[in-house]
Structure 1
Amino acid sequence: MMFLEERHPLKVSRRARPAFATHSHGPRTQRSRPGDPGRLHGGHMSVDAHRSYNEAMRPAGIGRSVGDMSVDHGERLKNARKRVGLKQHELATASGVSLSQITKIEQGDYTPRLETLRALAIAMRMNTSDLQIGNDAEQADPDTSDLWAPVRRALLGQDVPDDVPEEPATSDGVRTAFDEMRPLIDQHRYREISAMLPALLRDADTLEGQQGRSVRARVLTTTGWMLTQNRQFEAAATTLNRAIDASVDRGSAVAAVNVLVWAHLRQGQLTEARDLAVKWADDIEPRFSRATAAQLALWGRLWLYVANAAVRDNSPGETADALSLAKAAGDRIGHEMLYDPNPNRTFGPVTVAQITGECHVIADDPARALAIAEAAPKLVFAPSAAGRLRHRLDVAHAHAQLRQYPEAMGTLQELRDFAPEWLVQQRYARDILGKIIAKRRTLTAEMRELADQIRLEY
């Protein structure tokens, strides 16, 4: 499946977003009008138009209220299957999901994962979110929850030590302490970070004035990022909303929004992630001729999140549109960069290529994903950034999809050695290793060791 062709638009209007792939739910429409500055001409359907078209073409009564918990996964799947005229065994054949699994879902005996719902949605030519109820989050294990408990309490103003210094905290002092923590963030040393954050949060909370708000927003955004990375989703959402509220400019606010969108994606909340990203991308859309690199990066990163949500939602046309917009921003910048002080937040042509590869992995096109990875520079900017590590998981997954299990295992072991605290928080890594060992009658010592280290359940 091709998501992105080699095109380089210099200006993009929010009213004309280019699509380079045929959408599965219908034809493209002409969106361009002559005379609009910065408009790309051609028969393109915008991101918003794709979604409106999907809604219009969806059969009545299917998926129009994803949040309606009165209908469970089983009822929703059964209603959708009957509406499109498929029997259970026909849906099993078309989707690759076993007949027994479909039966269990419809009977309410099994809660399907997002990837299972996507396979079923593809077979029935609908969006994944049409079948989705709730989220698809993996909750943190007890050790991780205990590790971050002091941070959660500090966010609530609890556990204030008796020996608080009489001298008040200053913006410069908090900023210096934050900068001292950055190497730990870069190295994914979560145990040490979780020990430093409570005092930093308490000090940041006392800061006043515009400068104080700016520093506090920065600390809260990074804290929200760390909580999301460690699967503390409720605390992360509250923290990131506080960061948005504390922000003194759009750049700071959208940095927190980017993390909040990512938190939605980590929980499988496709509609929430996409809607929030599109809203803010429209709000901050830059003029390419005058925009700074940071403005382009923040905007482009939001479109990468839209692509990430859209490909999971079986919306290939929308995925192509979003990737094209992100590529325009990346090409305009021309190099990789950090788009806020957190050393794990990168954007540029390489990042766009890596997310494009991820989209191909999700769309079951592992060969294309590996080709993109092979074509990427061997030495990349910020190699320890979480996005770079995530790309390595995509490479491992692509190898596993192609039954190249030694290569997949080798990539997982490299990640374990490079960023062990990061890897243990990745459900994706457990999914990949689980698929590898499911194909084997016996496990090697290396497989058993890795399974224990990343906490793969039996």
Structure 2
Amino acid sequence: VAEGWTQYHSAEFDTVMKALPDLISDARSATASGSDDDRRAGFAALGKALQLAGHVAVRMGKTDLALIGLERATDAAGRSSDPLLLPMIVNSMAWTYQRQGRLEDALDIALRTADDMADAGRTGTADGLKVWGALTMSAATSAARSGDYERAAAMTERAEKEAARVAKLPAGGDSRMVSVFSPSSVRIERVRLAVQYGHPNDALALAKGTRLSKDTPPSWRTWLLLDLARAHTDTGDAAGAVKTLESLRRVAPTWMRHHTLAVAVVRDLWALTDHPPGLRALAEFLGVGGQRGETGSVDLAATGSVTGRQDP
């Protein structure tokens, strides 16, 4: 299951989809063990496998299917030995609601679950704080998309202060099985919100000098570079945008193909009168372009129509 999440964060969606049927079947078999402890561990594995299936479904644009999988994951979590599993799956449901435009529902379940975790004293370990932090950042995203930028900023500020505690708490289990939350991830989210709300200079300032922690997944590094490319484009720095996209192509070419923001930025750059060096190669890589001044076309369904972000 952990390897499946690693592949997911590397945009190896075909590999994950091929593995999921057997993975889910094996986890179901584990839930039939004669030992209570083994049975509960089996339900934990099943919950994470179904959660992974839900995430892949969202990436493929099948949000209703994703919610069905996540509802089954919720049932498995309730019968598992992992108290953090249910909050993680709730976070996945909040993300799926965001993708469906159900921002109020997404905000409500993320914030309520984060508060429940704090009230139950589940933020005293690194893993618990990571799950709480991911829920809080999800709520901030929903608030921002609903137009309440001040509320989103307040939640983000609180999350950033709490993220500094993660490294000081007792280490948890396999980081691939827990939500992504650290000073690096919060900074990436702050950059994204600044770009989305028309503050590209703030986004570039936030990113300047930022050092990403070693456990920052490739998917999150991808999102940061994409947001920076958007910010450079919005400030009129076409050359800077191309340079950033070239870096992304070197470190995460598969993710770049699977993200519509990359297509949008390249299209905007291609529409300029003067094309920066390197733009044509990027346009060809993404299937965007044609003759100078034309925006070309690309099958967004083929790229996976991937926007937004989320993790276990």
Q: TM bucket by the smaller chain? A: 0.7 to 0.9
> Which consecutive residues of structure 2, in runs of 5 or more, have no partner in the other structure?
32-38, 290-296, 301-312
Letter in 2 for 1:332: R
State the Cα distance separating 1:251 from its structure 2 match. Answer: 0.5
State the Cα distance separating 1:338 from its structure 2 match. Answer: 8.5
Letter in 2 for 1:452: G
1:456 aligned partner = 298
Give the one of 126, 135, 140 matched to 1:302: 135
Structure-2 separation of matches of 1:279 and 1:410: 41
State the Cα distance separating 1:310 from its structure 2 match. Answer: 1.7
Structure-2 separation of matches of 1:350 and 1:324: 13
Give the one of 384, 405, 423 matched to 2:238: 405
Structure-2 separation of matches of 1:335 and 1:381: 16
SS at match of 2:236: coil
Structure-1 separation of matches of 2:88 and 2:110: 11
**Distance 1:238-1:290 versus aligned 2 partners, 3 A rule:** closer
Instruction: Give runs of aligned pairs for residues 373-412 of structure 1, distance below 5 A.
Output: 373-377=207-211, 379-412=212-245
State the Cα distance separating 1:457 from its structure 2 match. Answer: 4.9
**Distance 1:426-1:328 versus aligned 2 partners, 3 A rule:** same
Which segment drifts farther, 384-393 or 263-272? 263-272
Q: Percent identity?
A: 25
State the Cα distance separating 1:315 from its structure 2 match. Answer: 0.9
State the Cα distance separating 1:368 from its structure 2 match. Answer: 1.0
1:284 aligned partner = 117
Instruction: Give runs of aligned pairs for residues 428-439 of structure 1, distance below 5 A.
Output: 428-439=261-272
Structure-1 separation of matches of 2:86 and 2:122: 23
Which segment drifts farther, 228-237 or 436-445? 436-445
Instruction: Give runs of aligned pairs for residues 21-420 of structure 1, distance below 5 A.
Output: 178-208=1-31, 209-247=39-77, 248=80, 249-285=82-118, 291-334=124-167, 341-342=175-176, 345-377=179-211, 379-420=212-253
State the Cα distance separating 1:335 from its structure 2 match. Answer: 7.1
**Distance 1:290-1:214 versus aligned 2 partners, 3 A rule:** closer
State the Cα distance separating 1:180 from its structure 2 match. Answer: 4.7
Equivalent residues of 1:286, 1:299 under 8 A apart: no
2:305 aligned partner = none
SS at match of 1:284: helix
**Distance 1:305-1:276 versus aligned 2 partners, 3 A rule:** same
Structure-2 separation of matches of 1:419 and 1:290: 33
State the Cα distance separating 1:222 from its structure 2 match. Answer: 1.8
**Distance 1:262-1:338 versus aligned 2 partners, 3 A rule:** farther
**Distance 1:310-1:255 versus aligned 2 partners, 3 A rule:** same
**Distance 1:405-1:374 versus aligned 2 partners, 3 A rule:** same
Normalised by the length of structure 1, the TM-score is 0.55
Equivalent residues of 1:345, 1:385 under 8 A apart: no
Which segment drifts farther, 260-269 or 317-326? 260-269
**Distance 1:182-1:296 versus aligned 2 partners, 3 A rule:** closer
Structure-1 separation of matches of 2:281 and 2:177: 32
**Distance 1:453-1:291 versus aligned 2 partners, 3 A rule:** farther
Letter in 1 for 2:176: N
Structure-2 separation of matches of 1:335 and 1:264: 33
SS at match of 1:274: helix
2:309 aligned partner = none
> Which consecutive residues of structure 1, in runs of 5 or more, have no partner in the other structure?
1-177
Letter in 2 for 1:192: T
**Distance 1:340-1:390 versus aligned 2 partners, 3 A rule:** farther
Q: Deviations over 1:148-182 (max 9, x none)?
A: xxxxxxxxxxxxxxxxxxxxxxxxxxxxxx34545
Structure-2 separation of matches of 1:400 and 1:257: 35
- The structure richer in helix per residue is 2
State the Cα distance separating 1:396 from its structure 2 match. Answer: 1.0
Letter in 2 for 1:367: N
Equivalent residues of 1:224, 1:237 under 8 A apart: yes
Which segment drifts farther, 319-328 or 358-367? 319-328
SS at match of 1:231: coil
Structure-2 separation of matches of 1:402 and 1:338: 41
**Distance 1:244-1:227 versus aligned 2 partners, 3 A rule:** same
Letter in 2 for 1:402: T
Aligned residues: 280
State the Cα distance separating 1:329 from its structure 2 match. Answer: 1.9
Q: Deviations over 1:241-283 (max 9, x none)?
A: 2111110244001111222222233344322221221121122
**Distance 1:231-1:289 versus aligned 2 partners, 3 A rule:** closer
Normalised by the length of structure 2, the TM-score is 0.78
Which of the two has higher C-alpha Rg?
Answer: 1
